[in-house]
Structure 1
Amino acid sequence: MTQPAQTLPQNPEAALVQIVGLAILSGTVAGAVAFVHRWYARERIPNGVAILAGAGAVGISLGTWQTLQPFFTAGNPDVLTLSTATRNVASFVVAGVTAVIGARIGDRLTTNMAALSGATQLDDNVSRIVGAVGRMVTVTLPETIDDIDGYDAVPDETKETLAGSSFVFPRGITVTELKERVIARLEDDHGIGHVDIDLASDGTVEYLALGSRVAGLGPLLVPGTVAVAIRADPAFSAGAGDFVAVWRRTDDGSERVTTGEIRGVAEDVVTLAVDADDATKFDLEVGYRLETLPRHTRPEREFVTRLKSADERLGVATVEPGSDLVGLPVGSLDATVVAVRLADGTVETLPIRSRLLTAGDDVYVVAQPTVLRRIERSGATKSNVTEPERAKMKAEDGQNSAQ
């Protein structure tokens, strides 16, 4: 004797109770998944993943196989009724909505717990909303704006225009988001190339330094080289970056003047980067012949060129006796360490990550200006650091370890 297949309740009250129960189940499961995702991944769970988790729980509860099994079993006309299909569809639709709501609640619960407990697994700036009063967040720039070491200075006229000015942003954003928006406003609206800024939890600007954007050919030339423009006919398809030998016609045939790197071509005028000592060998009234040379790597030139056009810069931090850097491994620094110079003058290039720093070491690092300032402060003797600076260092180190 065939057992009748299980179907959803036929009366409306029981069906409504079941839909509400499945909706609560979906929201609970999606919230739990969002909680775990934010805790470990430190980012908000996508809505699609939350809906999939909630709907999956509903599908398991309904017994997908038991729902589909009557299609393969004779004598079950009730399976294809409109009421049964409607209840199934309604259950999944409501479950999808509650899954999104549950995911947002779980995500918010995670960030609030981290903020209240001071947990370091999450970035503090992610959970910290700007504590401003009012419907908008107003960021006022300081009257004194510093220059970023290693970058060209911003014109004084631009600094005077920006000093004391205010930017208005919508409320309800995190400190990190506010910082990114301030930097974008300065770069896009005022043509600033590099911005180093520290914001307090209420949106107050604690430190601001600016650097101009790299423009022209000069900043991209390696020290000891200059750019010269000569009349020449480069080889077909020769362009910027190609190394060439420069030849000049003489009474006895031709002679090789020098070698250089093509930086630009405009009709019969070629701009070359050559050694500074060879710049006086060219004659403005003479045409030259260029011979393209095989490509060979110049790591030092490529490194300097790329570094000058990047957001990072090269800095030197001295490890003073009693500072926080003494005894730390090189790999613990949140920067790229390219060299360490010992007190006796010995230079170690690209030191291993386990190499321990000692007092008197000069650490050459490549990082963004904000990171470099923190490393330089950490390398200073504790007695030379004021109490506000020490508190700020601890806060920055906590944020860095969370990231």
Structure 2
Amino acid sequence: MTLALGALVGAAVDVGFSRPRQAAVALVTFAVVAALVAGSAALAYRWYFRAEIPEGVTGLIGVSVVALYLNTTSLGSVAVGDNPALLAPESVFFNLVSLGVAAVMAPVGRYAGDRLAVDVFALSGAKQLDGELSGVVRAVGRFTAVTIPPADEIGDMDTYDPVSPEKKAELAETTLLFPRKLSEAALRERLVARLKEEYGVGYVDVDLDADGTVDYFAVGSRAAGLGPTLAPGSAAVAVSADPPNNATVGDTVQLWRDDPELERVATGELRGVAGDAVTVALDESDAERLTDEGGYRVVTLPAEPQADREFASLLRNADETMASVTVAAGSDLDGSTVGEVGAVVAAVRPAEGSVQPIPPRSYTFDAGDLVYLVGRPDAIRRFETAAAASDEAGGSGGSNGRASAAERDAELDDGDGIASTDGGDDRDGSDPPVGGTQRS
């Protein structure tokens, strides 16, 4: 037994380039072992962590396996009484070449193992992958794979708060799997829903092909807090007061001061109550009349539900947004009808004439029409492109006028039933620039 072990160990240690055939067999064996071990490590890492194993880890594993074998055989030869020439130049050179071969083959095994893991998980019914599927699996699989673009190709949605670079890096190059028989519209809806639910993204603007190829991808974060719900020209003020027990958020209230005499100071909307602190949204001119001296009394007024406030509140949490787009002469939209567009046309202000709220589907757009839209960001983006002049069709179609969460909660009625604009009010009768997009 000892002699057999000694013969085996001695044969392993004595391999060198003086014996070309044995050296070649040994190096090929080391290369295969290093690749298999690195591939197995990549597959196990992908299965456990759902991510790609770092390249340095697989390189270290592949080299360590070969080094462990060489050290074990050398120590075994010493244990059986042999005196191998461990420090001989030929042995040292062979060992270095062996380690080099292992270092080269480990990344190959890592790539193969990771791709195999991604394909196996895809075929086993996984819903999300972080890696690229092979062409064969894409062809025979019972799913549609949607791969998010790299982080530098993920755009920001205009007028929405940008998503953090960390969130974009988390999304980048992730592959999401969906049933193959979904229609293009259903595939988009499921993709948007999953990105919102699983990644906490507020808004998604994406264009998809039927095979899941992403042509355009942009994200935005959902605005939170009290500020985005305030209309232009209003402010939110916290005052010390004693609100009625039946006062609820959204009630119309009056602020009264009883020192030195009873006086009504302002009228606003109740936004929050915390103990003796009451937050009221009111006009900026009324807010300037409030002081920090003394407290106030809050009187709740009977009021019917405000349809505009309810609409703004619902729109703030919806995927749809608002925009106003001017139709340019010679654009693709010039001469088309309301029924042909993919967004809801709330109203149209012709270049000459009065506003037409909720125009019929047969209404024909003319150059200079200011169109007020409600729709998804991708639908509005396509509308902007179609409304741009022919020489601008290859560009962005004018500046984006989609309203942010703050602007969508602005007062919707400016006297003619149309949302007013910040810094660009149309009530003076002036026409907006042809082909441009205004923020609503």
Structure 1 length-normalised TM:
0.57
Q: Which residue of 1 aligns with 2:83?
A: none
Choose from 252, 255, 260 the match for 2:268.
Answer: 260
Is 1:328–2:336 an aligned residue pair?
A: yes
The letter for the 1-side match of 2:318 is A
Is 1:272–2:263 an aligned residue pair?
A: no
Q: Which residue of 2 aligns with 1:140?
A: 147
Q: Which residue of 1 aligns with 2:212?
A: 203
Unaligned 5+ residue runs, structure 2? 1-136, 398-440
Local SS of the residue matching 1:250: coil
- Deviations 1:153-205 (CA, angstroms, capped at 9, x unpaired): 22233123323332234555443443233212210111112211111122111
Indicate how the Cα distance of structure 1 residues 352 and 279 shifts in structure 2: closer, same or farther if over 3 A, else same.
same
Indicate how the Cα distance of structure 1 residues 203 and 334 shifts in structure 2: closer, same or farther if over 3 A, else same.
closer
* % identical equivalent positions: 45
Is 1:247–2:256 an aligned residue pair?
A: yes
The letter for the 2-side match of 1:359 is A
- Deviations 1:316-353 (CA, angstroms, capped at 9, x unpaired): 22222222322233344333323323335x55141531
Unaligned 5+ residue runs, structure 1? 1-130, 390-403
Indicate how the Cα distance of structure 1 residues 244 and 315 shifts in structure 2: closer, same or farther if over 3 A, else same.
same
Check the 8 A contact 1:222/1:304 in 2, yes or no: no
| 2-structure distance, mates of 1:300, 1:349 | 18
Is 1:350–2:365 an aligned residue pair?
A: no
| 1-structure distance, mates of 2:204, 2:190 | 12
| 1-structure distance, mates of 2:307, 2:177 | 45
Check the 8 A contact 2:201/2:219 in 1, yes or no: yes
- Deviations 1:29-82 (CA, angstroms, capped at 9, x unpaired): xxxxxxxxxxxxxxxxxxxxxxxxxxxxxxxxxxxxxxxxxxxxxxxxxxxxxx
Indicate how the Cα distance of structure 1 residues 302 and 349 shifts in structure 2: closer, same or farther if over 3 A, else same.
farther
1:221 Cα offset (Å) = 1.4
- Deviations 1:88-134 (CA, angstroms, capped at 9, x unpaired): xxxxxxxxxxxxxxxxxxxxxxxxxxxxxxxxxxxxxxxxxxx9424
Check the 8 A contact 1:317/1:379 in 2, yes or no: yes
Q: Which residue of 1 aligns with 2:373?
A: 365
Q: Which residue of 1 aligns with 2:121?
A: none
The letter for the 2-side match of 1:272 is V
Check the 8 A contact 2:253/2:268 in 1, yes or no: yes
| 2-structure distance, mates of 1:168, 1:351 | 40
Check the 8 A contact 2:156/2:218 in 1, yes or no: yes
| 1-structure distance, mates of 2:356, 2:180 | 47
1:240 Cα offset (Å) = 0.7
| 2-structure distance, mates of 1:172, 1:375 | 28
Q: Which residue of 1 aligns with 2:195?
A: 186
Local SS of the residue matching 1:197: strand
- Which structure has the bigger radius of gyration? 2
Check the 8 A contact 1:330/1:351 in 2, yes or no: no
Choose from 172, 177, 180 the match for 1:168.
Answer: 177
Indicate how the Cα distance of structure 1 residues 337 and 155 shifts in structure 2: closer, same or farther if over 3 A, else same.
same
1:4-403, aligned counterparts within 5 Å?
A: 132-135=138-141, 136-143=143-150, 144-169=153-178, 171-251=180-260, 253-296=261-304, 301-343=309-351, 348-350=355-357, 352-353=359-360, 354-386=362-394
Indicate how the Cα distance of structure 1 residues 137 and 329 shifts in structure 2: closer, same or farther if over 3 A, else same.
closer
Indicate how the Cα distance of structure 1 residues 173 and 333 shifts in structure 2: closer, same or farther if over 3 A, else same.
closer
The letter for the 1-side match of 2:288 is T
- Say which structure is richer in helix: 1
Check the 8 A contact 1:232/1:289 in 2, yes or no: yes
Indicate how the Cα distance of structure 1 residues 216 and 362 shifts in structure 2: closer, same or farther if over 3 A, else same.
same
| 2-structure distance, mates of 1:355, 1:177 | 29
Superposed CA RMSD: 2.8
